[in-house]
Structure 1
C-alpha cells in the first residue's frame, strides 16, 4: 500500500498487512501523526489507503483516482476539509462520494458546519479502529445502495425512452393505416354509386344542361 506524504510516496512499515483489493480510502490530514495512525488502522482493517497532507493534494488526486470514501481534516491550512467538501458537492464527478470530516478537537459548531456543508459523518480523533470501521462501513453501504438505485433509475429511464419511441412509431403506423382505410372507403363508395347517381354527378351532364 502506498501512502503519500508531503507530495511524495512512502512505503508504510505495515505494508504487508494492507489489503490490495479492499475499498480505497483517501485521507487528507495536515497532521503527519494522524495520517500515519489512520493509514495504519485502516490498512489493518483491510482497506486500501492513500494519504495526503492537504486539501489541494486531495483535489489533485481525485482527478486520477476514484476512492470509495474520503476522510478530510476539517481545519487543514489552505483548502480546508469543508472547502474541499463544498467543491466536491458542486462537482458532477465527485458529488456522490461519501465524505467523513475528521476533527482534532471537540467543537459542536464545527461539526454542525461540516454536516451542513454536506458531510456524511463527523468524527472526533482519536477514534477507536472498530468504531472508525463501523462509521466507514455504514457510509460505504449507503453509497452502494444509492449507486444501485441510480442504476435502476437509469435502466428505467432507458426503458421509458424505448417504449416512447415504440409508441411514436406505432402511432405513425396507425395514422398511415387510417389514411389508407379512408382512401379505400372513398374508392368503395365511388364504385357503389348507382348509374343515375353517377350521371347526376357527371360534369359532362352539367355542362350539357347549361
Structure 2
C-alpha cells in the first residue's frame, strides 16, 4: 500500500473514477461527497493526503482547507486542491489558503499521480525531520540535565576544596605557631 487518500468531491461520478484510478495506483482511497463529512473522516482516522474539490455546495473546499489548517492535529496534512476553474486565480486562491498543490479538472491522472507522489514524498521527509528534531530535543534535554548535575557536583567539589584549603591553612598556622613557641622555650 502506497498511502491512504481521502477524496472529497461533490460529484459522485468524479469520486468513483478517482477511487478506481487511485486504487489502480495502489492507494487506499476513502471517498466523501461533502466537506463536513470529509472533516469528520479526517478527525476519525489518519490520512496521508486529501484530494479536495474547491467548489462544493454547503461547505466549499476552501472552507474545508481552512478547517484542516486551523486544527493543530491536521495542520500539516497534505492537501491537493482540484477545480474545474481554468482561471489561474483559482489555483492562487487554493495555494494561498494553504493547499500543497493544485490540479485542474478534467484530471490528467498521470499528472495527478506524479503530484500525489511528490506531495507524499515531501510529507514523509517532513515527518522524518520532525521525528529527528524530537530525538535531538530529547538528547539536548538529557545533556542539559547532565550538565546541571555536573555543575552541582563541581560546586560541591569546589566547596569541599575551599573548606579543605581553609582547614589546611588553619593547621599550617597552628604548626607555625607551635614551631615558634617550641623554639622560644
In structure 2, the partner of 1:91 is 71
Q: Which runs of 5+ in 2 are unaligned?
A: none
TM-score norm. by structure 1 comes to 0.81
Partner Cα separation in structure 2 for residue 198 and residue 56 of structure 1 = 98
In structure 1, the partner of 2:114 is 134
Question: Are residue 82 (structure 1) and residue 47 (structure 2) matched?
Answer: no
Q: Which runs of 5+ in 1 are unaligned?
A: 1-20, 200-210
SS in 2 for 1:186: helix
CA shift for structure 1 position 108: 1.4
SS in 2 for 1:24: strand
TM-score norm. by structure 2 comes to 0.92
Q: 1:31 aligns with which of 3, 8, 11?
A: 11
Alignment size in residue pairs: 179
Q: 1:169 aligns with which of 149, 154, 159?
A: 149
Partner Cα separation in structure 2 for residue 66 and residue 189 of structure 1 = 71
SS in 2 for 1:192: helix
After superposition, residues 140-179 of structure 1 pair within 5 angstroms as 140-179=120-159
CA shift for structure 1 position 196: 6.7
Relative to its length, the structure with more helix (as a share) is 2
After superposition, residues 1-210 of structure 1 pair within 5 angstroms as 21-193=1-173, 194-195=176-177
* Runs of 4+ that moved beyond 6 A: 196-199
In structure 2, the partner of 1:14 is none
Partner Cα separation in structure 1 for residue 179 and residue 42 of structure 2 = 85
Partner Cα separation in structure 2 for residue 149 and residue 96 of structure 1 = 13
